[in-house]
Amino acid sequence: MTERVIEATGLIKDHFSNFLRKPSRALHGINFSVDKGEVFGLLGPNGAGKTTTQKLLLGLLRPTEGSVTVLGHPAGHQKTLARIGFLPENPYFYSHLTADEFLDFFGNLFNVPDAALKQRSKQLLELVSLSDSGSKPIRKFSKGMLQRLGIAQALINDPDLIFLDEPNSGLDPVGRRDIRQIIMGLKQQGKTIFLNSHLLADVNELCDRIMILHRGRCVAEGAVKEISSSGNYRDLEQYFMEAVEKAETAYQEGTSTSKLESVTSAKEVT
C-alpha cells in the first residue's frame, strides 16, 4: 500500500491586505494528495495560488479553512519540518557567509551531528558541483551557483520530502540540465518531490503527476504518462494551455469550471 505523504482537503486561503478591506481569496477549497516516491508538479499561471499552496504545506501560512497533513502531521509541525527540504524561488542567502558556513548553519538547525554534517556538506557540494567554492563568500556567487547551493541546503538533512520552487529559474541550459539530473537522482533514491515550475519541458521529464491551478482553483490534474499517451494532446504545453484557457473563459463568462479529474475527461472542460 502506498504511503500518503501530503494530504490537502478543502483548502481555502484568504489574504487580508488590511483590516478594512474585504479579504481576497487565494485558494477556493482545493483537494489533492501526494504519495511517497512521487514527483508531483504544481502548475499554473502567475497568481494562480501555487506559492500560497506551497506555503500552506510548509506551515508558513495557516489555512482559512480545510486541513493539510504533511508526513503524517499537520503542516509546520516540528516532526514534519525535520524531514523536509525546501528551495524557495529566487532565494536570497546570507551573503556574509561562505558556502561551508551556510551549510553548517542549516545543518545545525537540523541538529545534524558535527562529524556527519562535515561529511554531508562535502558530499552535497560535490553533488552540486561547488566543491571548489566551499570557502568562497556567497556574495561572489553567480545566479546558477546560488541555485545549486540552494539545492544543497535543501538536502542537508537528507529529507524524505523536498519542495522545489522554480529550481531552474534563471539558469542557463547547462545549469538546467544539472539541476534536472540532481532531481532525477533524488527520484531514483525514492524521495518525494513537490515541484513548482513554469518550465513545462522539465515538468514533463521529471513529474509523475501534475495539478494545474487557475485563480485558486484546481482545473486539471493527471498522470504525466497518461497525458502523453492519451493522444489527445501534442504535449504537456497543449494540455496546460487548454486547461488554463478554458478555465479563464469560464471565469470571464461567470460559469463554473468543472475540474479535469483525468486526462480522458480533459475535453469536457467548460
Partner 1 sequence: MSGLRSIYAIAINTFREAVRDKVLYAFILFAIVVTLAGLLLGSLSVSQNVRILEDIGTFTISTIGGVIAIFIGTNLVYKELDKRTIYLIFTKPIFRWQFIVGKFLGLALCILIVTAMMGASLMLVSYLNGERNMVAMVESLGLTYLELLLVIAMATFFSTFSTPLMSVIFTLGLWLCGHLGQSLLALSKMSQDSSVKPLFEAVYYALPDLAKLTQIKFDLMSPLPHFAASSLITITAYVFAYIVLLLSFATFITERREFS
Q: Closest approach of Cβ 27 to partner 1, in Å? A: 12
CB of 108 or CB of 262, closer to partner 1: 108
Q: Is 67 in the site for partner 1 (CB under 8 A)?
A: no
CB of 88 or CB of 167, closer to partner 1: 88
Q: Is 32 in the site for partner 1 (CB under 8 A)?
A: no
The continuous run of DSSP H or E covering 205 comes out as helix 200-206
Q: In what order do the strands lie in the sheet with 84-87?
A: 84-87, 161-165, 192-196, 39-43, 209-214, 217-223
- Build a one-symbol-per-residue string for 220-249: x at contacts with partner 1 by CB under 8 A, - elsewhere: ------------------------------
Q: Is 94 in the site for partner 1 (CB under 8 A)?
A: yes
Beta-strand (E) ranges in the chain?
4-15, 24-35, 39-43, 65-70, 73-74, 84-87, 161-165, 192-196, 209-214, 217-223
Q: Closest approach of Cβ 209 to partner 1, in Å? A: 23
Q: Is 192 in the site for partner 1 (CB under 8 A)?
A: no
Q: What are phi and psi of 104, to 5 degrees?
A: -60, -45
CB of 37 or CB of 137, closer to partner 1: 137
Query: 545549486: which residue's cell?
Result: 148
CB under 8 A: which stretch of 39-47, 53-61, 203-211, 226-234 binds partner 1? 53-61
Give the ranges where 110-192 is alpha helix by DSSP (H).
114-127, 143-154, 173-188
Within residues 138-177, the interface with partner 1 by CB under 8 A covers 153, 163
Q: Is 116 in the site for partner 1 (CB under 8 A)?
A: no
Within residues 70-89, the interface with partner 1 by CB under 8 A covers 78-79, 81-82, 84, 86, 88
Grid cell at residue 194: 513537490
Q: How far apart are CA 152 and CA 130, in angstroms?
A: 9
Residue 115 CA neighbour count, 13 Å, CB half: 0
Q: Is 106 in the site for partner 1 (CB under 8 A)?
A: yes
Q: How far apart are CA 132 and CA 145, in angstroms?
A: 11
Q: Is 120 in the site for partner 1 (CB under 8 A)?
A: no
Q: Is 12 in the site for partner 1 (CB under 8 A)?
A: no
CB 239 within 8 A of CB 251: no
Determine what percent of the chain falls in helix, strand and coil, rounding each to the nearest 5. Answer: 40, 25, 35
Q: Closest approach of Cβ 60 to partner 1, in Å? A: 4
Interface with partner 1 (CB under 8 A): 15, 52, 55, 58-62, 78-79, 81-82, 84, 86, 88, 91-94, 96-97, 101, 104-106, 108-111, 153, 163
